[in-house]
Structure 1
Amino acid sequence: MSHILCRATRLMSTSTMQRAASKSQQPYPFSSTALTPDVHHIPPTPSLRQGKGLMEYLQQTLPTAEKREMLSKLFDRNSPGRLLPGSIVTVLSEQAPTSFTGVLLAIRRRGQDTSFRVRNIIQRTGVEMQFFPNSPGLKEIKVIRKPPKGRMRRAKLFYLRDSPEKMSMIAGGKK
């Protein structure tokens, strides 16, 4: 019974498509059921041709020269002053003048979508925050202390979530 119902639906939808094809759409040459819509070219308006609107928005939202310098210094793999997992960093945000200090757990380099995670223990509760350096709300990133012994053995320090003793040793610079 369901087989007959599916076949009837398929036939009905094909006939509907063929009627639509005869009105305003052309059939696709490699399939009798696929349709391609007619493309109507709409010329750009004079203001769009001059770049008004979009260019103003891009100029306001693009990072400033100082921010670009900070990003290249802290997040470029070949920079000597780059952020390393295990560093103690302070992140200042612009919306509410607040700062968050903690151990840098991980850096995720993805071009414009680059982010990093910072973890701290506040009132015996682990608090982790993810920051996007390209965000206009991020004001400044300060490196308080580099990781102990120059660098950590792992790129992602998520194991520190389970052992607050190790995290406090890193924060204290004893490891």
Structure 2
Amino acid sequence: MGPSQSLRPLAQCVSRLMSTTTASTSSPAALPKPYPFSKTALTPSLVPATTTPNIPSLTGLKTGKGLMYHIRNTLPTPEKAQLTSTLLSSSHPARARVGDVLQVEMEYAPTRFTGILLGIRRKGMDTSFTVRNIINRTGVEMQVFVNSPHFKGARVIRSVGRKGRKAKGYWMRDSPDKMAKIAGAAAAAAKAAK
């Protein structure tokens, strides 16, 4: 018995394992179609799907068209979207105005911060507002991003009632006597609200 005869069963086994043809033929639809450029390569037949799921078209999103519109409408929670459209809106009747006393609730310390609204920065997903208060004769400001996961909510404790003279209340930083008066009223309003 020569070396070629001893390897023959192994060669037959390998050729069967590496074969691209199927041993059994069950139905003509399941048979693979021959590949036009090779006699040994086989391509599987594609079975058409019977039902298509009702998914909105995302082809525009894959190319980048309408991506920011999609993010702006799907990312914020309904509570935060409602807060942005009412309290932080520029035209809603129940909106917060510069000079209003706001109470902000956060997930982490300080959990509640009461202060005067200095300004609202309306930038879509990056909408934020700045609140200032005087604590132990030191001015403390907090910029709150509305869509932050740490932000719980905000409410107006005391309203100015009319439109302020400026869109931003940063002038209050330079007049500590007016700020102290408003901060004292804010503290009294916060205690009364509890």
* Alignment TM class, shorter chain as reference: 0.5 to 0.7
- Give the partner amino acid of 1:128: E
The answer to whether 1:123 aligns with 2:136 is yes
Q: Does 1:164 align with 2:191?
A: no
Distance 1:69 1:95 in 2: 22
Aligned residues: 114
After superposition, residues 61-80 of structure 1 pair within 5 angstroms as 62-80=75-93
Amino acid at match of 2:93: P
Tell which deviates more after alignment, 107-116 or 63-72.
63-72
Per-residue CA deviation, residues 129-157 of structure 1 (Å, 9 max, x unaligned), is 1111111110010100111x522101111
Is the 8 Å Cα contact of residues 63 and 136 (structure 1) preserved in structure 2?
Answer: no
Provide TM-score, normalisation by structure 2: 0.54
**What code does the residue aligned with 2:137 have?**
R
**Which of 66, 88, 105 is the aligned partner of 1:92?**
105
> SS where residue 143 of structure 1 aligns?
strand
For the 8 Å contact 1:88–1:143, the answer to whether it is kept is yes
CA contact (8 A) 1:121 1:127 kept: yes
CA distance in 2: counterparts of 1:88 and 1:151, whole angstroms: 14
Q: What is the alpha-carbon distance in structure 2 between the residues aligned to residue 170 and residue 153 of structure 1?
A: 16
Residue identity matched to 1:122: I
Larger Rg: 2
Tell me, yes or no, if structure 1 residue 152 matches structure 2 residue 167: no
- Report Cα offsets for 1:27-65 as digits up to 9, x if no partner: xxxxxxxxxxxxxxxxxxxxxxxx9xxxxxx8xx93222
Paired residue secondary structure (2:95): coil
Q: Percent identity?
A: 53
Distance (whole Å) between structure 1 residues aligned to residue 130 and residue 177 of structure 2: 19
Structure 1, residues 79-108: CA drift from partner, whole Å, max 9, x if none? 111111000001001134611100101111
**8 Å contact kept, 1:86–1:151:** no
TM-score of the aligned structures, taking structure 1 as reference length = 0.59
Structure 2 residue runs without a partner (length 5+): 1-57, 59-70, 187-194
**What is the distance in 2 between the residues matched to 1:76 and 1:96?**
27
TM superposition outliers: structure 1 runs of 4+ over 4 Å: none
Separation in structure 1 between the aligned mates of residue 104 and residue 150 of structure 2, nearest angstrom? 11
The within-5 A match list for 1:49-64 is: 62-64=75-77
Q: Is the 8 A contact 1:107 1:117 kept in 2?
A: yes
